[in-house]
Amino acid sequence: MVTAYIIIFLSNILTLFSRKRNLVLVVISFAFFILIMGWSLSDPDWVGYYYLYNFTANGPILPEFGYQFLEKIFLSLGFDFPQFRIAIAFITYYLMYKGISFFIKKGPLSLFISSYALFSLFYDSIQLRNTLGISIIIIGLRYLFEEGKFDILKFIFTVLVATTFHTTMIFYLAFLIVKFKKTNLVQFCIILFTFLTTIIIVMNGTKIPYLEVIFGSLRESKYTGYLDKSMRWGFIFPLALQMINILFAKFLMTVNFSDINSIDNEGRKSQLLLNYKLNVSGILFIPIFTVNLNFYRLARNLLTINLIFSQLSLNHSVKQKERIKIILFTFIYVFVWVFYGFIFGNEFETVVRPLLENNGFFP
């Protein structure tokens, strides 16, 4: 598995400057992502998902009933947990690919694949519900970038569907802020609201007033577990990572598209501006970072979205120096996350190694 990972990673690195999609390489790369997730045998969340599948799927309806419904379907078809996991991997990465294709069209995907494989792939491969949820969100992003009559309602519906797979997806309703026209005023309101809310939470012992009562009414220890740990200053790290998300999105807005069709040029810049607004809206996640570091996945999911727009920028950048700059800054951006997760967080041994060394497809 390690050898296959290196080959696929280097193959995508070698095609970074290609202006045409290598469809065979894209298919092989996404198939490999499916292998990593679907055939995992010993990642940190494996036992938890095994328990959910075998002991709670046919129990009382849970708030994440979308995921529970999939479990029921595959149980009725006679799938055991490893087979169910493979099916979930296919569904998840198919949805992710479809969502990416709306923005990238038929352009190259080598930058996205190689940068995604460095970090996000490993966490996404063990957090099945989160990855399925964010893949649905990526599908729904198109409704924020279009001006249809019912696009806002369509996006809200998409978020609600994603929430049935992982409850934290509900926070992505914050993305609706991108539909507001007065950018500076909106940014000011976001920052002010976040600052005041964070102060209140910290003064309340890093607990959100009344939210524990609401989650407690669900009678699910998993949700109250999000709130039962008192944080001190650990939230500074996901806060810093979210600021880096914003800075990277701001950097993408500086890409020069001046040599392409002016209409396309304005269209790309408009998309990058909206992506920047998505990242700014992520400031609203900061108050819940103070409660539990599990919520940092909200910022990590924005990393995946930013990598899509990094690929978009590369595909439509004409000057070679500009393309080199995009590639360089993208990998620097990802390596910041790598440092936090694998080095500072010391999770390489618990996250990466099991996925690469204990896989059912490559025994």
Residue-wise DSSP of 102-125: HHHTTS--HHHHHHHHHTHHHHHH
Among the residue ranges 62-71, 118-127, 163-172, 250-259, the one predicted with the least confidence is 250-259
CA distance 3 to 361: 13
pLDDT for residue 250 = 94
252 and 315 in contact (C-beta within 8 Å)?
no
198 — pLDDT class (breaks 50, 70, 90) = low
pLDDT in tens, 315-333: 988 788 899 999 999 999 9
Compute the average pLDDT of residues 7-12.
96
Q: Would you give the DSSP letter of residue 182?
A: -
pLDDT for residue 204 = 56
145 and 175 in contact (C-beta within 8 Å)?
no
Is the pTM value of this prediction over 0.85? yes
With 0-12 CB in 10 A as exposed, 13-18 as middle and 19+ as buried, what is 28? middle
CA distance 298 to 131: 11
70 — pLDDT class (breaks 50, 70, 90) = very high
Beta-carbon contacts of residue 182 (< 8 Å; ≥ 6 apart): none
47 and 82 in contact (C-beta within 8 Å)?
no
pLDDT in tens, 222-275: 544 444 444 455 567 888 899 999 999 999 998 876 555 555 666 778 889 899
Compute the average pLDDT of residues 338-351.
88
State yes or no: pLDDT of 276 exceeds 50: yes
pLDDT in tens, 283-309: 888 777 776 667 788 999 999 999 999
**Pick from 141, 46, 151: which is nearest to 88 by CA?**
46
State yes or no: pLDDT of 95 exceeds 90: yes
pLDDT for residue 254 = 87
pLDDT for residue 186 = 65
CA distance 339 to 333: 10
pLDDT for residue 218 = 44
pLDDT in tens, 21-30: 999 999 999 9
* Lookup: tokens for 92: 């998840």
pLDDT for residue 133 = 96
pLDDT for residue 184 = 66
pLDDT for residue 203 = 57
SS3 359: strand
Q: Would you give the DSSP letter of residue 61?
A: P
DSSP letter string, 192-231: HHHHHHHHHHHHTTS--TTHHHHHHTTT-HHHHHTTSS--
Q: Is the dihedral of CA 105, 110, 113, 116 positive or negative?
A: negative
Q: Kindly list the distances between the CA atom of residue 288 and the CA atoms of 41, 239, 293, 308, 337, in Å, as whole numbers in the listed order.
A: 32, 10, 8, 26, 20
Percent of the chain residues topping a pLDDT of 70: 82
State yes or no: pLDDT of 148 exceeds 50: yes
Q: How many helices (H) and strands (E) does the chain have?
A: 18, 0
pLDDT for residue 217 = 43
Comparison of pLDDT for 205 and 196, the residue scoring more: 196
